[in-house]
Copies of this chain bind each other. A is one copy, B any other.
């Protein structure tokens, strides 16, 4: 099934069940008022949502036209958002750009940070930024939402705790990150509020594309209307989503509704460091990687980070070309405190 959250002037929005083709929806308020409320009692509530989903898809339920721009992120605020770095090509390129090495341990021990989860923006909301000197960048990723996960869960057991899947634009402020990473305490200023895909889906919606706890499909990133990235989310993934959930829960329990991210999807492409789409490659899921490739090829960073007015779109299509999660579409706007 596919779930979304409509804006309704409350902090947590209104839970709805969306048709597979993203055209119609039915409110789920008689089942659970919000997605967090559904996740809090997932075993009892999800069968009722599945029944409504069936009725939405077979036309037997009363439905309304679904508009992605009326959505909050599926969880407008969450109790945990932890983001891994499962694609080592991204880590290698971004570190190279900062003049930093990739420690050997990174290939066995996932990098992960605890992100701000209290003020996600909607999938079509603007990215508010104070200053373009902060180095505004998109990061296109896949993410999962869990139910309650016990401390010390193994990767094998973690798989069963993955209940929903989304995409995310993990907005990064590259200009502020080097100073924060030197401090060692992770990101406070270097990550802005993230935007998630309009729709969260259960793994079965992905069919055979959900394999080995990841998605074997290209993640499509458009930047200012041009194709920018189409890296496959399974290719070159060092740690799958179950492994990342296990890492997140190593020393404490995770609450239902925890969101775990993959990190920026990045493909090496024929063993190298990737190629731009216009050069015949699969492109990139963030600007920092393109800049590093430019630096390697020409000695200069060419593509600037996002400026006010720039827009990024992120989505993923099934084998038939149909959008699975809807589109994340964020435009950068100036915010004056």
Contact = CB atoms under 8 A, between A and B. Distances in A.
Contact of A152 (B112, B152, B335): B335
A173 interface: yes
A255 B77 CA distance: 9
A116 B188 contact: no
Contact of A78 (B79, B179, B254): B79
Interface residues of A, number: 58
Copies per assembly: 2
Contacts of A337: 150-154
A230 interface: no
Contacts of A117: 79-80, 117
Nearest to A41: B11
Given A114-B115, A116-B114, A187-B185, A192 B79 contact: no
A80 B114 CA distance: 10
A119 B335 contact: no
A175 B188 CA distance: 24
Contacts of A247: 188
A83 to B, nearest CB: 9
A183 B111 contact: yes
Contact of A186 (B119, B186, B258, B335): B186
A189 B251 contact: yes
Contact of A82 (B109, B153, B188, B250): B188
Contacts of A176: 251
A253 B337 CA distance: 10
A71 to B, nearest CB: 18
Contacts of A154: 337
A118 B251 contact: no
Interface string A167-192: 00000010010010111111111111
Nearest to A36: B11
Contacts of A92: none
Interface in A138-184: 150-154, 173, 176, 179, 181-184
A191 B80 CA distance: 14
Contact of A112 (B185, B250, B254): B185
A255 B10 CA distance: 13
Interface in A91-124: 103, 105-106, 109, 111-119
Interface of A: 11, 40, 77-80, 82, 85, 103, 105-106, 109, 111-119, 128-130, 134, 150-154, 173, 176, 179, 181-193, 247-248, 250-255, 257-258, 335, 337
Given A114-B114, A119-B253, A193-B252, 14 more contacts: A79-B79, A79-B118, A80-B117, A113-B185, A118-B254, A118-B258, A129-B251, A130-B151, A150-B337, A153-B337, A173-B251, A185-B186, A192-B251, A192-B252
